[in-house]
């Protein structure tokens, strides 16, 4: 104990240090990042808002505080949940800087800019492209399957647990490793992780399309029944699920093709409404059982 105190006093004394309460406050604020999303500098004020407990702690001096606020109001935009990793790294840099470390403004901003692109490339496919569709599709199927309130509760709890845990850990890891994270990015690991999340995301999209895209042909069941009578149960089932499957994947691919041709999703939906109205009127399409 005595030795420790001696060690500390022999080193250059730390002037200011972030406290556990600051980390908690910053973690809480990170859930409100996008509130001031704007077309000029996007998430800039959001980032400054998250950093503000740290700015307050680290820069009691007015001119330092002003320059810290200004540098965090520069352009920033990334996938929201991944932003906690950036916050962690920036916190460690700011703490070094406040204690006279060799860190300047442009360096902090360069780190933010270097991280936001790659993290956006992982974050969107992972969170909005995989976790949310899988969880919410499962929750919606619970609702339609008659489990009522358990669907929404499951979705809310599972999503927010995953999100908050991720943000908390990412902020901690970012702070502990500081700018080493950037070196870690350059090892190619990031590329492989991006690849892994995209592969998994595409696989799950295939699953979801198969389970939830449905063209409700009113004749599918009758046709399957006829085939079952003629050539056995196996072929009947194959025709039934084969027809449903081809319609589902075909429709999805057509939608992708239209979106790539810059056609607004709203117009595609209106077009599908039209097909639904004509199809229902002519008896080709029917309404799903739970809506009748």
Partner 1 sequence: MSIISTILILIIAFVVGMDGILDEWQVYQPIIACTLIGIATGHLVSGILLGGTLQMIMIGWMNVGAAVAPDIALPAVISALLVCGPVALTIKHGIALTIPVAVIGQLLNVAIRKSIVKVVHRADEAANEGNLSKMNRMHLISLSIQGLRVLIPTALVMVVNPVYIQWLFNQVPAGVTNGIAASIGMISAVGFAIIINMMADHTLWIWLGIGFLIAAFSNLGIFTLALIGALLTLLYLWLVNKHQRSKPENGGNDDMDDFDKELDDL
| DSSP E strand boundaries for 168-216 | none
Q: Which of 96, 118, 137, 172 binds partner 1 (CB under 8 A)?
A: 137
Q: Which of 168, 204, 228, 235 binds partner 1 (CB under 8 A)?
A: 204
d(C-alpha 279, C-alpha 282), whole Å? 5
d(C-alpha 124, C-alpha 81), whole Å? 9
Q: Does 275 bind partner 1 (CB under 8 A)?
A: yes
Site for partner 1 in 40-69 (CB under 8 A): 40-42, 44-46, 48-49, 52, 55-56, 62-63, 65-66, 69
| Residue with smaller CB distance to partner 1, 24 or 189 | 189
Task: Report residue 9 as tokens.
Answer: 């006093």
| Residue with smaller CB distance to partner 1, 8 or 256 | 256
d(C-alpha 93, C-alpha 67), whole Å? 15
d(C-alpha 81, C-alpha 78), whole Å? 9
Q: How far is the CB of 11 from partner 1 (least distance, A)?
A: 30
Q: Does 265 bind partner 1 (CB under 8 A)?
A: yes
Q: How far is the CB of 234 from partner 1 (least distance, A)?
A: 12
Q: Which of 70, 225, 229, 231 binds partner 1 (CB under 8 A)?
A: 70
Q: Which of 168, 185, 235, 280 binds partner 1 (CB under 8 A)?
A: 280
Q: Which of 16, 24, 110, 199 binds partner 1 (CB under 8 A)?
A: 199
CA-wise closest residue to 189 among 129, 122, 125: 122
Q: Does 192 bind partner 1 (CB under 8 A)?
A: yes
Around Cβ 250, how many Cβ atoms within 10 Å? 12
d(C-alpha 16, C-alpha 19), whole Å? 9
Task: List, in sequence order, every residue forming a beta bridge with 134; answer none if it has no partner.
Answer: none
| Residue with smaller CB distance to partner 1, 8 or 105 | 105
| Residue with smaller CB distance to partner 1, 15 or 32 | 32
d(C-alpha 248, C-alpha 222), whole Å? 19
| Residue with smaller CB distance to partner 1, 8 or 257 | 257
Q: How far is the CB of 128 from partner 1 (least distance, A)?
A: 4
Q: Which of 125, 174, 178, 236 binds partner 1 (CB under 8 A)?
A: 125
d(C-alpha 174, C-alpha 182), whole Å? 10
Q: Does 134 bind partner 1 (CB under 8 A)?
A: yes
| Residue with smaller CB distance to partner 1, 223 or 249 | 249
Cβ 241 vs Cβ 251: under 8 Å? no
Site for partner 1 in 75-104 (CB under 8 A): 77, 80-81
Task: Report residue 204 as tokens.
Answer: 């799950």
Cβ 130 vs Cβ 204: under 8 Å? yes
Residues in the chain: 292
């Amino acid at each position: 104990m005595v030795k420790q105190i001696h060690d500390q006093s022999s080193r250059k004394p730390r002037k200011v240090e972030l406290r556990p309460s600051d980390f908690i406050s910053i973690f809480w604020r990170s859930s409100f990042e996008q509130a001031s999303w704007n077309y000029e500098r996007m998430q800039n004020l959001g980032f400054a808002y998250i950093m503000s407990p740290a700015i307050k702690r680290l820069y009691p001096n007015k001119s330092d505080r002003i320059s810290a606020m200004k540098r965090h109001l520069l352009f920033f935009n990334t996938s929201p949940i991944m932003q906690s990793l950036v916050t962690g790294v920036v916190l460690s840099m700011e703490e070094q800087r406040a204690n006279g470390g060799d860190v300047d403004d442009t360096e902090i901003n360069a780190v933010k800019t270097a991280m936001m692109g790659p993290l956006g490339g992982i974050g969107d496919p992972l969170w909005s492209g995989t976790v949310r569709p899988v969880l919410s599709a499962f929750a919606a199927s619970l609702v339609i399957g008659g489990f009522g309130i358990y669907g929404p509760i499951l979705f809310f709890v599972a999503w927010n647990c995953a999100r908050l845990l991720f943000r908390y850990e990412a902020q901690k890891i970012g702070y502990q490793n500081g700018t080493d994270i950037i070196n870690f990015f350059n090892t190619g690991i990031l590329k492989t992780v991006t690849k892994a999340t995209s592969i998994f995301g595409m696989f799950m999209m295939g699953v979801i399309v198969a389970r939830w895209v449905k063209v409700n042909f009113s004749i599918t069941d009758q046709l399957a029944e006829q085939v079952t009578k003629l050539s056995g149960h196996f072929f009947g089932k194959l025709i039934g699920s084969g027809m449903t499957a081809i319609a589902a994947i075909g429709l999805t691919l057509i939608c992708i093709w239209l979106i790539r041709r810059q056609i607004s999703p709203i117009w595609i939906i209106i077009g599908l409404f039209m097909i639904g109205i004509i199809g229902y009127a002519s008896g080709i399409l029917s309404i799903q059982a739970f809506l009748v």
